[in-house]
């Protein structure tokens, strides 16, 4: 949010052309920024992390979700508190606040950001949205192909 605020303070920046993008943790952060900063016009989260923590802990044993699982195994009486606290940081909840146009990406073989967690954030997303599905990719997503998708997406919103 502070980066967007700083960019908007520069006279050369068009306030009607603010976009955020990132992959993995950056994708989760781009969802959060789009949900918290209404001046963001476009969000492009790629294989976003930090979405639907509870689901992720139920379907994958990869890190960092494993840290939550280990804690919950040892603190069985704190499970509800753990997931209620994590909701404050969950991309699903930020997604529900955003009105920016969005292009998500998801990889169906991703063990770090399981597809159902990405689809959860996508389904909660309040603004106009599209999603690019990479069927045979893991956490690397569409890489250069996704960059081209984002360029095309932006070109459809802001023709040069």
pLDDT band at 64 (very low <50, low <70, confident <90, very high): confident
Q: What percentage of the chain reaches a pLDDT higher than 70?
A: 100
Active site residues: 24, 110, 139
Tokens at 141, concatenated? 């997503």
Q: What is the pLDDT of residue 61?
A: 81
Q: What is the pLDDT of residue 26?
A: 97
Average pLDDT over residues 121-147: 97
Q: Contact 28/90 with Cβ under 8 angstroms?
A: no
pLDDT band at 2 (very low <50, low <70, confident <90, very high): very high
Structural domain 2-150, CATH architecture: 3-Layer(aba) Sandwich (3.40)
Residue 115, pLDDT above cutoff 90: yes
Residue 160, pLDDT above cutoff 80: no
pLDDT band at 144 (very low <50, low <70, confident <90, very high): very high
Cα separations (Å) of 35 from 99, 120, 124, 126, 160? 7, 15, 11, 9, 27
Q: Write out pLDDT tens, residues 5-55.
A: 999 999 999 999 999 999 999 999 999 999 999 999 999 999 999 999 999
DSSP letters for 100-121? SEEEEEEETT-SSS-HHHHHHH
Domain map of the chain by residue range?
A: 2-150
């Amino acid at each position: 949010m502070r980066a967007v605020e700083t960019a908007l303070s520069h006279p050369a920046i068009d306030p009607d052309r603010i976009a955020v993008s990132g992959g993995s943790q950056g994708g989760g952060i781009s969802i959060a920024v789009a949900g918290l900063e209404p001046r963001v016009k476009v969000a492009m989260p790629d294989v976003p992390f930090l979405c639907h923590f509870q689901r992720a802990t139920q379907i994958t044993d990869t890190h960092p979700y494993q840290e939550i699982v280990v804690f919950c195994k040892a603190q069985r009486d704190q499970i509800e508190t753990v997931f209620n606290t994590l909701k404050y940081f969950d991309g699903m909840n930020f997604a529900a606040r955003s009105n920016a146009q969005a292009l998500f990406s998801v990889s169906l073989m991703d063990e770090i950001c399981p597809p159902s967690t990405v689809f959860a954030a996508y389904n909660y997303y309040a603004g106009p949205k599209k999603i690019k599905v990479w069927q045979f990719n893991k956490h690397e997503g569409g890489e250069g192909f996704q960059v081209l998708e984002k360029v095309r997406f932006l070109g459809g919103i802001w023709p040069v």
